[in-house]
Structure 1
Amino acid sequence: MHPRNIRDDLGDLSGLADSIAAQGVLEALTVIPHVAADGTPGHQLVAGHRRAAAAILAGVASVPCVLRPDLALDDDAADGDRAAQAGHVGAMLAENLHRRGLSAVEEARGVQAMLDLGVPLTRVAKSTGLGRKRVAKAAGVARLDGDTAAAVAGAGLTLDRAAAVAVYAGDPETAAALVAAAGRGPGGSPTR
């Protein structure tokens, strides 16, 4: 598993595992060349964490992979490691945003990881297919404290609703009331 995998929860893999047991993995996983801490050469998974976990659950010994050396870490460049890691996170975001949806908090964490790795907001938007406004909202959501982020994820809030909560991140009582109201759906009002 990639150390910067942005998905917290792989979800229920039973249906995917059944499908893989019956038909195999239909879409290749994306891997990069990687040398383990003990010096053993191998590969690191960049995209396809759900498929890989479901294949293991199904008892499948090997799966198709696409080797992407262009995404590998560049040991010769000073900023190569950060740039390559940002590329990995961007690939994960791009893939997952168009599949079983990431939670608003997972999306925000991925966007913030790219920003933290020095990728400009405009380039994050372009490499992931997200608009600039969405990237900015995600960056705001990424600043939520752990408890509020967990409440936002638990309530299944959209990025727009999570961004509204993030505006009040400094006021835990208001943020909690907004999460509760947003979780009740349209017309739900905060209670105090």
Structure 2
Amino acid sequence: MAELLAEQREQESPVVEEVAQSKEAEAALPGPRTAADPTAPLADPESILVDIDTVAGHPANPREQLGDLSELGAAIQEVGLLEPIVVASATAFLAAHPEYTEQIAAAEWVVLAGHRRTAAIREHTNLKKVRATRADRLANTDVDDLITLAIENLHRLDFSPIEEGTLFQAMLDRGLQQYEIVERVKKSKGHVSRRLKILNLVPELKAVLSSGRLRLEDALLYADKDPETQRAAWAYVDLNTAGGMGPAEAMALHSQHAERRQRTEEAQAKAAEAGVDIVDPEGMWGRQAASHRLVDDEAIEEARRGGTLAAALDKTGELYWVTTSSVEQPANALDDRAEAERAAKARAEACQSIVARRVTVAEALRRLTDAALAPIALGPAHRLAYGWLRSAGVGPDIANPAKYIAEVYTSTDTALRQLVATATALAVEEVLTREAKEWGPRQVAHVRRLTVEATPGYSPTAWEMGKMEPGTIETDEE
């Protein structure tokens, strides 16, 4: 009970002070006025009794939820209203703000401060009349009623960022500049601008933010994006709660998928223009699918003339040409996929031996520069590096890749941060090597690094040697 009584006294104390000071503030104005007669002097704030059934809430009050009012109502029923609510006459309020005529309807008074207590009295007491401070002057200007709402609510812990932003936007709509809002509500420029920015969120994300499931920092990332990206990225995050996917990674994933869809549509149009079907090479030819791929113009034209030309799509949605005719396989052809997997496993062991050693700042910077320019998302690389680091006993004992990376990100251990960052950069190179159909200088450089830095030195497999030009790798055996 004591806490609720304190709430009555303290909830609106900033507003009561504001009302008490209003006469002094008005003295500095060019000429006192009312809505009915701009030249008439304003009456001082006065204490009155109002019929609770004739009081309407402020239509611009951004608070959607007032919380549980039953205990507050019980306290008011027992000891009465310790601090009066602050009201303006409906006549004065509507003269300044006629756009709210429908919402005010037949009410005689409009609450400027004390919405929770008004609701508690109406819903949980048998009181018919309550004390109020009449302050028409707060309704007679463009924004003073909104400033009063701000004073009433901004100190509340349960006043959500969305509600704050809605209130600040209403002030902008009334003609205040953002710097004026900052001065009037005593908040920083960044505080106000961030609350305004999150109003760009789609309704679903506004609800998630208000529920506490979305951090304000993450909400600001979503607010920068278009509605489709916001919804798609949140869907990825919501489905990967256990994996700890963040908004940046989700947006990158959505962007990749959107680009792939666009490339797929372009590829389908290109195949239709060429008059050929799009086929699934692996579904038709299994592990021999790669041998049906056509890379030179002469072979493509020959297949076209022979009626065996078809199109296929790679993992990125890019189109390539294949022949549907049977392809003779060398008797001693290697099982490419099995050999690739065997080589990847061997390289993983070599990578693990590298990530366990300390690295210099210069090396970390060089590796991270290469990784930052890699055309892949960091999610797969983080998971790969996490496996190596955990096997090597490096870093915190956390059984979730995303949480492990997040813990290292906030760590003050600079050496650990450099080591994990360098391991991620190494994992980027390994991912690029695993995904490459044809090896280029980057893949060759990755294997060369393993032969030099792994402990013991790494020896490329026969399959890897076949993927590289002769003489590009030197080992101790040569």
**Which has the larger helix fraction?**
2
**Larger radius of gyration between Structure 1 and Structure 2:** 2
Shift of 1:100: 4.5
When residues 138 and 12 of structure 1 are mapped into structure 2, their CA distance, relative to the original with a 3 A threshold, is same
**Is contact 1:104-1:162 (8 Å) kept?**
no
1:174 aligns with 2:174: no
SS of the aligned residue for 2:61 comes to coil
Alignment-mate amino acid for residue 146 of structure 2? V
Structure 2 residue 204 is matched with structure 1 residue 147: yes
Return closer, same or farther for 1:110/1:40 CA change in 2, 3 Å cut-off: closer
Q: Does 1:134 align with 2:191?
A: yes
CA contact (8 A) 2:209 2:216 kept: no
Residue 60 of structure 1: CA displacement?
1.9
Q: Aligned residues, how many?
A: 178
> How much does 1:63 deviate?
2.2
> What are the superposed Cα offsets for residues 162-191 of structure 1, whole Å, 9 maximum, x if unpaired?
33432335422224556x59x99xx95428
Q: Which amino acid aligns with 2:209?
A: V
Q: Distance in 1 between matches of 2:202 and 2:137?
A: 35
Aligned to 2:61: 5
Is 2:152 the partner of 1:95?
yes
The match for 2:444 is none
**1:61 corresponds to 2:163:** no
Q: Secondary structure at the match of 1:150?
A: helix
TM-score by length of 2: 0.34
1:62-113 residue CA offsets vs partner (Å, 9 max, x unmatched):
222111121123xxxxxx5xx1xx3222211221111342111111111111
Cα separation, partners in 2 of 1:156 and 1:94, compared to 1, 3 Å: farther
Give the unaligned 5+ runs of structure 2. Answer: 1-56, 95-100, 251-478
- 2:118 aligned residue: 52
Instruction: Please say if residues 33 and 43 of structure 1, whose CA atoms lie closer than 8 Å, have aligned partners that are also in contact.
Output: yes
Q: Which residue identity lines up with residue 167 of structure 1 in the other structure?
A: D
* Counterpart among 19, 29, 39 of residue 85 in structure 2: 29
Per the alignment, residue 77 of structure 1 pairs with: none
- The Cα RMSD (Å) is 3.0
Task: Please tell me the residue identity of whatever aligns with 1:163.
Answer: L
Bigger drift between 8-17 and 54-63 goes to 54-63
Task: Please report how far the alpha carbon of residue 119 of structure 1 lies from its aligned counterpart in structure 2 after TM superposition.
Answer: 0.7
Q: Distance in 1 between matches of 2:168 and 2:127?
A: 33
* Partners of 1:141 and 1:121 in 2: CA distance: 15
One-letter code aligned to 2:109: H
Q: State the alpha-carbon separation in 1 of the partners of residues 130 and 175 from structure 2.
A: 33
Note closer, same or farther for the CA distance 1:5–1:114 as it changes in structure 2 (3 Å cut). Answer: same
TM-score by length of 1: 0.78
Measured in 2, the distance between the counterparts of 1:112 and 1:68 equals 24
Task: Write the distance in 1 (CA, Å) between the matches of 2:175 and 2:79.
Answer: 41
SS in 2 for 1:63: strand
Residue among 145, 170, 178 paired with 1:113: 170
Q: For residues 66 and 161 of structure 1, do their structure 2 counterparts lie closer, same or farther at Cα, with a shift above 3 Å needed? A: farther
For 1:155 and 1:30, how far apart are their aligned partners in 2?
31
Match of 2:75 in 1: 19
Return closer, same or farther for 1:109/1:156 CA change in 2, 3 Å cut-off: farther
Q: CA deviation at 1:158?
A: 5.5
* Residue 124 (1) aligns with residue 186 (2): no
Q: Which residue of 1 aligns with 2:219?
A: 162
Letter in 2 for 1:46: L
Secondary structure at the counterpart of residue 140 of structure 1: helix
Q: Does the 8 Å contact 2:208/2:214 carry over to 1?
A: no
Distance across 2 between alignment mates of 1:63 and 1:158 = 40
Q: Which residue identity lines up with residue 151 of structure 2 in the other structure?
A: A
Give the residue type in structure 2 aligned to 1:4. Answer: A
Q: Is the 8 A contact 2:165 2:195 kept in 1?
A: yes
Structure 1 gaps of 5+ residues are 74-79
CA 1:156/1:55 → structure 2, altered by over 3 Å: closer, same or farther? Answer: farther
Q: Distance in 1 between matches of 2:128 and 2:215?
A: 37
Could you say if the C-alpha distance between residues 17 and 146 of structure 1 is closer, same or farther in structure 2, counting changes exceeding 3 Å? same
Percent sequence identity is 28
For 2:105 and 2:163, the matched residues in 1 are separated by 32
Q: Which residue number in structure 2 is paired with residue 70 of structure 1?
A: 137
- Counterparts of 2:105 and 2:164, CA distance in 1: 33
